């Protein structure tokens, strides 16, 4: 298509998969990332997949001069904003860092956009903004709920800020994409999720146990009011999530703030995930039951019908593909981008 897109956080897990899709559709992509949770080796991998290149600017979304230079150098049409910190537990220990990066960083970005006259934005929000008491499935018309950690609160605050911005200036169009649980990797096995240190999230933990980096999985709680006592989540393939951003770009022609759930609409339990991984890969994943993790909700999944109706998007990859692609990435890259 030849449009120019700024992708903040484009070296990260979801960003890198989205950059692949954008390059494959012919967009010119400028990635701004400070690499605080990623590795610039990802760009050679993206080149190998797409045979085209994103421009990489190593820098911080809080750096006004850096943003001004990007907007004056490239004729950016829209911004996809992934950059931010995302570890829930850590956010309670260093809340100021989370509000600095996620809230202040977004303010600086929006100010730079406004100064450059760029008023189309896609924001990475999270199902966590539905809060602790929302009934399932989550629908976009429900009010945001009570968040239980600074990470979740930062996402809810940014949603409100962007909604207010759209109300104040009818030139803005913003998509607030509420992700459910992205897993999997590009089917090439060249890019995938590469958490630093001990993974917080389920799927990277399972695959690191399978590859022999960790001894066993602790399943946090088996006494929840669910089918088998373990928590249920709406897992979607990261390539479907990446497609969702491409679909949302077309919705940016409509002004105002628009919320979309990006999920499959189906909940799966932790035990179902472990069993599926074993069935699909043939690799065992030893596990034991542990106490519940503080802040975990028993079960949630998306009502995904609005994105299907308005964006013509739905998650199409199967659970087996999620498992196969996770394992291809992990087994080909036992130490992630470090080899």
Residue 293, contacted partner among ligand UD1, ligand NAD, none, CB below 5-8 A by kind: ligand UD1
Q: Position of tokens 């039951």?
A: 289
Residue 14 touching ligand NAD (CB under 6 A)? yes
- Which of 130, 151, 179, 235 is catalytic? The answer is 151
Residue reference for tokens 């088998």: 228
Footprint of ligand NAD on 174-193 (CB under 6 A) = 179, 181-182
Q: Where are the strands (E) in 108-183, listed by range?
A: 120-126, 173-179, 181-183
Among candidates 187, 152, 159, 130, which has minimal Cα distance to 302? 130
CB of 187 to ligand NAD, least distance (A): 18
Tokens 């189906």: give the residue: 266
Tell me the chain's radius of gyration from C-alpha atoms: 19
DSSP label at residue 103: I
CB 178 within 8 A of CB 129: yes
Q: Which is nearer to ligand NAD, 142 or 255 (CB)?
A: 142
Q: Would you give the binding string for ligand NAD spanning residues 25-64, x where CB under 6 A is met?
A: -------xxxxxxx---------------------xxx--
Closest of 119, 62, 40, 127 to residue 304, by C-alpha: 127
Q: Is 151 a catalytic residue?
A: yes
Single residue of 27, 66, 84, 245 touching ligand NAD by CB under 6 A: 84
- CB-hemisphere CA count at 13 Å for 271? 11
**Closest separation between CB of residue 165 and ligand NAD, Å?**
18
Binding site for ligand UD1 (CB under 6 A): 86, 88, 126, 128, 152, 181, 200-202, 205, 217-220, 231, 233, 270, 293, 295-296
Q: What are the Cα distances from residue 189, in Å, to 17, 261, 323?
A: 12, 27, 12
Partner touching 60 among ligand UD1, ligand NAD, none, CB below 5 to 8 Å by kind: ligand NAD
In the bound state, the residue with its beta carbon closest to ligand UD1 is 231
Instruction: Report the site for ligand NAD in 128-157 (rule: CB under 6 A).
Output: none
CA angle 162, 111, 13 (to 5 degrees): 65
Q: Which is nearer to ligand NAD, 109 or 311 (CB)?
A: 109
Annotated catalytic residues are 151
Contacts to ligand NAD by CB under 6 A: 8-9, 11-15, 32-38, 60-62, 82-86, 101, 105, 124, 126, 179, 181-182
């Amino acid at each position: 298509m030849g449009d120019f897109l700024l992708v903040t956080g484009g070296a990260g897990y979801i960003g890198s998969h989205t950059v692949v899709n954008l390059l494959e559709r012919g967009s010119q992509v400028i990635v701004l990332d400070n690499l605080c949770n990623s590795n610039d080796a990802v760009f050679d991998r993206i080149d190998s997949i797409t045979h085209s290149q994103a421009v990489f600017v190593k820098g911080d979304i809080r750096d006004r001069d850096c943003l001004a230079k990007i907007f004056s150098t490239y004729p950016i049409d829209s911004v996809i904003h992934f950059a931010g910190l995302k570890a829930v537990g850590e956010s309670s220990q260093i809340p100021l860092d989370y509000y600095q990066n996620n809230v202040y960083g977004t303010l600086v970005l929006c100010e730079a956009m406004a100064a450059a006259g760029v008023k189309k934005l896609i924001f990475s929000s999270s199902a966590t903004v539905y809060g602790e008491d929302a009934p399932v499935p989550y629908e976009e018309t429900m009010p945001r709920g009570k968040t239980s950690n600074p990470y979740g609160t930062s996402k809810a605050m940014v949603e409100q800020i962007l909604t207010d911005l759209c109300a104040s200036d009818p030139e803005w169009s913003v998509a607030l994409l509420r992700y459910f649980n992205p897993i999997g990797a590009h089917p090439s096995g060249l890019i995938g999720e590469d958490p630093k240190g001990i993974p917080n999230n389920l799927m990277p933990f399972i695959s690191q146990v399978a590859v022999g980096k960790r001894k066993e999985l602790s399943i946090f709680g088996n006494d929840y009011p669910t089918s088998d006592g373990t928590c249920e989540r709406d897992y979607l393939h990261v390539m479907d999530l990446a497609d969702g951003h491409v679909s949302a770009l077309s919705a940016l022609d409509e002004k105002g703030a628009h919320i979309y759930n990006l999920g499959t609409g189906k909940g799966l339990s932790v035990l179902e995930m472990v069993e599926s991984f074993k069935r699909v890969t043939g690799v065992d994943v030893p596990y034991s039951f542990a106490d519940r993790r503080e802040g975990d909700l028993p079960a949630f999944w998306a009502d995904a019908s609005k994105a299907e109706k308005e964006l013509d998007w739905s998650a199409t990859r199967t659970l087996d593909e999620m498992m196969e692609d996770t394992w291809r990435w992990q087994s080909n890259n036992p130490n992630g981008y470090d080899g």
